[in-house]
Amino acid sequence: QAAGDSVPPGPFGPGSAMPRPGGGAPSDSFAVKASVTALRYCTEDSAQFPKMVAEVWFRTAEDAERVGFRPLS
């Protein structure tokens, strides 16, 4: 965890966190939205990013892939 980052650990271990109420990122260091039901994620440069409702956030795509998530196509 980054210094000063008080985000509680998420359900998928280090690099994951639950969204804020309303689905927002838990902190600026989380940039990957993911769907738990579909096991898919998207990054900020994805066209689907604004539309996707985050069920969990990851710091990086690598954090998401490490626990079995795949890119949203």
Pairing of strands 40-43, 70-71: parallel
| Residue whose tokens read 């954090």 | 63
- What's the confidence (pLDDT) of residue 7? 84
At 61, is the secondary structure helix, strand, or coil? helix
| Residue whose tokens read 């280090």 | 14
Q: Phi and psi at residue 62, in whole multiples of 5°?
A: -65, -40
Give pLDDT tens digits for 38-70: 999 999 999 999 999 999 999 999 999 999 999
Q: Minimal CA–CA distance to 41: which of 9, 10, 2?
A: 10
Q: Minimal CA–CA distance to 29: which of 12, 44, 51?
A: 44
**Confidence band (pLDDT; 50, 70, 90) for 1?**
very low
pTM recorded for the entire structure: 0.89
Parse the chain into domains and list their residue ranges: 16-71
